[in-house]
Amino acid sequence: MRQSGVIVLCLGSVFALSACQGNSDAQVQRALKDVNVIDESNLNDVMLSVADPEEAVTYFTRTLEQNPGRIDLMRGLAKSLVRADKPTEASLVWRQVAEHPEATPDDKVMLADALIRSNLWDEAKTELATIPPTHESFDRYRLEAMVADYDKNWTKADSFYEIAAGLTTTPAGVLNNWGYSKLTRGDYPGAEKLFTEALTYDPTKFTAKNNLVMARAAQRKYDLPVVHMTQEERAQLLYTMALAAIKQGDTAVGKGLLQNAIDTSPQYFEAAVRSLDALDANAAL
């Protein structure tokens, strides 16, 4: 009887050990799965930030084939296609994302962004109109402003640009876009003010510097603005100003600015030399 008890006890110990081993294996598998998820998440972030765009497209396409329907991978593919300068393909993927059960209003915003990049303005406008007004984000109002610009609805555009600028700590880009909108409307003082403000947030933004010079030249202000610039940028800005002066009929001023650009440039400025030679040739006729 005592022997039977010992056997039962031993069998119980074996079963307990087996159960513990099973629990241990399950815990290990769960831990490994968690590690894989973390590793994959980190890899996804790398692919979306520093990886070659085409490589990122290949990665997300392959991973999505292995895990169909995962919205995070669909978003990754769509973003990678935008980075790879394939907005039409990106818009198709973003539309699938927007129709996914786990989609958010931001996904529709990104769909509208891809549609604008594809020059499908009316479709983008339609998508933005389906987003609830309670969804207030920088990207949403940035795109609303661009669509209003496209429709030449300047009042709406100004309102949306202003809201967008207030929703980000880095408004240089949207202020530059707003300034360019003013520039195309012929509001040169307004454009100058916005480009100048953009440069207070990002003094390195060359497009804002170039646009600022164009806005000033349109008012016949042919001196460079007081902003930080490299020697190469200075030469390029003088060249931009020269072309604007010539276009407005201020040929003598433009010729002087071209020569200044050539003298300032740290390397041979072929475009400026060619323009100056063309002016001299025309003057000789």
The two tokens of residue 154 are 């300047």
| CATH class name, domain 51-118 | mainly alpha
Question: What does the DSSP assignment read for 159-213?
Answer: HHHHHHHHT-S-THHHHHHHHHHHHHHT-HHHHHHHHHHHHHH-TT-HHHHHHHH
- Cα gap 246→243, rounded to integer Å: 5
pLDDT at 13 over 50: no
Whole-structure pTM value: 0.80
Q: Nearest-CA neighbor of 174 among 129, 79, 166?
A: 166
Residues in Cβ contact with 272 at an 8 Å cutoff, skipping those fewer than 6 apart? 235, 239, 242, 258, 261, 262, 265
pLDDT tens digit sequence for 25-40:
555 455 434 444 445 6
The pLDDT-based confidence of 46 (bands split at 50, 70, 90) is confident
pLDDT value for 8: 40
Work out the pLDDT band at 2, boundaries 50, 70, 90.
Answer: very low
Q: For residue 49, what pLDDT band results from cuts at 50, 70 and 90?
A: confident
Kindly list the domain boundaries of the chain, sorted by start residue. Answer: 51-118, 136-221, 230-285
The predicted-structure confidence for 50-89, as pLDDT tens digits, reads as follows 678 999 999 999 999 999 999 999 999 999 999 999 999 9
Architecture in CATH for domain 136-221 = Alpha Horseshoe (1.25)
Give 28 or 147, the one with higher predicted confidence: 147
- Do domains 51-118 and 136-221 share one topology? The answer is yes
Residue labelled with tokens 């998820």: 37
Mean pLDDT of 255-262: 96
pLDDT of residue 42: 77
Q: 78-123 pLDDT, tens per residue?
A: 999 999 999 999 999 999 999 999 999 999 999 999 999 999 999 9
pLDDT of 204-240, one tens digit each? 999 999 999 999 999 999 999 999 999 999 999 999 9
pLDDT at residue 17 greater than cutoff 70: no
Query: What whole-number distance in Å separates Cα of residue 146 and Cα of residue 42?
Result: 33
CA dihedral 172, 173, 178, 183 (to 10 degrees): 90
